[in-house]
Each structure stands twice: as C-alpha cells, then as structure tokens.
Amino acid sequence: MYKNILVAVDGSEHALKAARVAGEFARQMQAELRLVTVYEPVPTYLGEPNLQHALDERFALAQQVIDGALQEIGEIPGELKTDVLEGPAAEAILAVIEARNNDLVIMGTRGLGRLTGLLLGSQSQKVVAHAPCPVLLVR
Ligand code: ATP
Ligand code: MG
C-alpha cells in the first residue's frame, strides 16, 4: 500500500519505536525507506575553527542517531537510504517529503524535548499539520 516511506528520528525513545515500526512496514509492504535526522544549524558567529568543530560534533552525533535507528529498522527487502540534514527539523522533513514524494511519514509523538506534559511535540505537530501524505505517530 505504501511504497516510499520516510521515518524521522532524533535519538529519543519514541523515535526508536517509530524506526522499529517503519522497519515492520517496509518489510510488510515491500517499501523503500528513507531514514532522516536533522541537526540544529550551527551559528556562524562561532567563527573558525570553532564552527567546523561544532559542525563535526553535530554530524557525529547525528550519525549515532542514524546508527541506533538502523538497528531498530533491521533488514528490509527494499532500498534503505539515510539523510543527515541541517535546519529546523519539521521544515527539513517537510522539504524531503516534497522532494522525494514520500507516501507515508512515521515519527514519534514526542522526542527529546523536556515538556513531557505535552501530547505532541512541536516538530511532529508541524509535520502533521503540513505534510501532503499520511503521518503515523508512534508512542
Ligand atoms: P519539542 O521539540 O517541541 O520540545 P519533543 O522533542 O518532545 O518536543 P518533537 O521534537 O516534535 O517532540 O519530536 C517528535 C518526533 O519528531 C520524534 O520522535 C522524531 O520522530 C521527530 N523529530 C524530532 N526532532 C527531530 C530531528 N531533529 N530530526 C529528525 N526527526 C525529528
Ligand atoms: Mg524535539
């Protein structure tokens, strides 16, 4: 039914669960999967070499987030691609959906944010509000 799934992860428990569900879906539906994580832009006022250090650090952390999610996804029959992007997360995720024509997005209800009382995180809220395709939120 869904052939081109995007899963977004930030290293949180919810996102790891979303990755597990995305793996299940990809196996059941023989779908392609795109795994995306977004890191915060580095402020340019840091100047060199601090700017490069900060970037390297963010990139390394993002790679760890990707590796953790890949473990949860497991083997899938279709293609599995990964993207590490910079920006505000929801905007970057929405841009990827637009560019790649994903037909399903899977995310966590919550992420790494500390306001645990909230029902939905701000990033999942924005994606649900603006995505052109169905969004599955995993808790
Ligand atoms: P907030 O960020 O509003 O304080 P939160 O961190 O609890 O709250 P969100 O950031 O909306 O909630 O996280 C919900 C889901 O969105 C995560 O489980 C993950 O799937 C996705 N997500 C959040 N941040 C990122 C990110 N930087 N890169 C990729 N996916 C993300
Ligand atoms: Mg968050």
User: Integer distance in angstroms from the first to the last C-alpha of the chain?
Assistant: 22
Amino acid at 111: G
- The answer to whether 43 and 30 have CB atoms below 8 angstroms apart is no
State both tokens at 61.
Answer: 């952390």
pLDDT (tens digit per residue) in 46-98 = 888 889 999 999 999 999 999 999 999 999 999 999 999 999 999 999 999 99
Ligand 1, CB within 6 Å, residue ranges: 8-10, 12, 14-15, 18, 36-38, 89, 107-108, 110-113, 115, 121-124
Domains of the chain listed by start with CATH number: 4-101+116-122 (3.40.50.620)
Span 24-46, average pLDDT = 95
Ligand 1: centre distance to CA 47 (Å): 28
Ligand 1: centre distance to CA 77 (Å): 27
Length of the chain: 139
> CA-CA distance, 86 to 103, in Å (whole number)?
23
> CA-CA distance, 93 to 122, in Å (whole number)?
13
Residue 118 has pLDDT above 90, yes or no: no
Ligand 1: centre distance to CA 31 (Å): 24
